[in-house]
Chains A and B, each alone.
Chain A
């Protein structure tokens, strides 16, 4: 069974803290993605990576950075968390050939 895992289901942080969200996939997929999921806004792409050490900005990259040092792992970093970054964060992966993206369970981040 294909699997995308995320390091935390729930996370509470304070304004100004540095936050790391980790995602691991075991499908040997080339592509990995980070999305925000907010009510009424759907899924918005923050960053994606199409290969190790390769990354591209998505639609809402401000306030975020990413790291992909190994093929199976893609990290989302909030350099200085703010309250407007309170959201559900979803990680996904896909192969080069297939359009289908496989999603992790999500991390609900609350920034106080």
Chain B
């Protein structure tokens, strides 16, 4: 079955600490994965996708097919990174399946 698992509901770190938001997936084909972010009182928006291999706002994510993971990382967290983060898997030409989300709280 196609599934996206985000094991942490809440991740709390101090400003300047490294951050890793975990995402594991199950998919039989060649996966295409995304991270979406929702800041307080803002709409859900794309943060990054694995095929572009880019760094957005200091965040990176590497697809590890062996471990079926797509963890989101940032070396030094900032307070403005506090948000809800969703990992998503493209399961057809247009449908996505989302994980349950992780709330990141960056404390001053």
Contacts and interface: CB of A to CB of B under 8 A. Distances in A.
Interface size class of B (residues with CB under 8 A): 20 to 34
Nearest to A6: B43
Nearest to B100: A42
Interface SS of A by simple majority:
strand
Contacts of B96: 99, 101
A10 B86 CA distance: 23
Interface SS of B by simple majority:
loop
Interface residues of A, number: 25
A41 B101 CA distance: 8
27 contacts: A30-B94, A31-B94, A33-B95, A35-B98, A40-B9, A40-B100, A42-B6, A42-B99, A42-B100, A42-B101, A43-B44, A45-B95, A48-B95, A58-B95, A90-B44, A92-B44, A94-B94, A96-B94, A99-B34, A99-B49, A99-B90, A99-B96, A100-B34, A100-B46, A100-B49, A101-B96, A103-B43
Interface of B: 6, 9, 32, 34, 43-46, 49, 86, 90, 93-101
